[in-house]
Amino acid sequence: MSKDKLDIVYEDKEIIVVNKPSKLLTISTENEKEKTLFHKVITYQKKKNKNNKIFIVHRLDKDTSGIVLFAKSEELKRKFQDNWDNLVKVREYVAIVEGKLPKDKGTVRSWLKETKTLLVYSSNRMGDGKEAITHYRKVMGNKQFTMLDILIDTGRKNQIRVHMSDIGCPIVGDKKYNSKTNPIRRMGLHANKLVICHPVTGKEMTFECDIPNSFIKIVE
């Protein structure tokens, strides 16, 4: 997907689900107001009706691609955020990591803290930060790189990136957390699946988007 085109996965009267490209902010920062996914979605909505509104429910890191959910009302946004653990059933990612895993599947659990320089790090001491739980499973790999399916029980800032670095297999292209290589010229993390209970209809809904081709080529 080009950075200018909006890749809509699903839309109804209450929500819109889009596939965010890598290297695009989800929401604005002090330095960047317009080159964001939020700006693209609100522009798309206002073309349909100038009174339309959009509210961010959750976000992905700038360099992570994949599924992001927006609400079309503040009330719905609050419902999602206040009942996140009940309404969001599955958050699945695909990651390309450096090296070979210590084991083909496992769970990383730690407590995450952030430094003044915005670096997140793990503590094994219970309660020493925000609890983070990441489950991983090897899909395929070669001597240099491994593709993983990742499920998260908690959605902490930089959680997957920190946990993969913790087990000695940093995510490709993630220099911040000790990656030494970047053959795909982006970070190897993609949010490919989201399962929610729709807060208005009560229906369970599954949203998926394709794994980037560059991820598959590097481990074939």
Q: What's residue 100's pLDDT?
A: 85
For residue 199, give the amino acid letter.
P
In the annotation, is 104 catalytic?
A: no
Kindly report, residue by residue over 79-90, the tens digit of the pLDDT.
999 999 899 999
In a domain, 3, yes or no: no
In a domain, 67, yes or no: yes
In a domain, 2, yes or no: no
Enumerate residues 6+ apart whose C-beta is below 8 A from 64.
20, 22, 93, 187, 189, 190, 191
Q: What's residue 33's pLDDT?
A: 65
- Yes or no: say if 170 and 178 are a contact pair by the CB < 8 Å rule: yes
Structural domain count of the chain = 1
Residue stretches of the chain with pLDDT short of 50: 1-3
- Yes or no: say if 155 and 29 are a contact pair by the CB < 8 Å rule: no
Q: What's residue 1's pLDDT?
A: 43
- Pairing of the two strands 120-123 and 105-114: antiparallel
In a domain, 81, yes or no: yes
The residue range of the domain holding 103 is 8-219
* Average of per-residue pLDDT values in the chain: 93
In a domain, 143, yes or no: yes
- Yes or no: say if 147 and 159 are a contact pair by the CB < 8 Å rule: no
Selecting among 61, 82, 153, 174, the annotated active-site residue is: 61
In a domain, 170, yes or no: yes
pTM: 0.92
Q: Where residue 126 sits, what CATH number does that domain have? A: 3.30.2350.10
Q: What's residue 32's pLDDT?
A: 66
Kindly report, residue by residue over 33-45, the tens digit of the pLDDT.
678 999 999 999 9
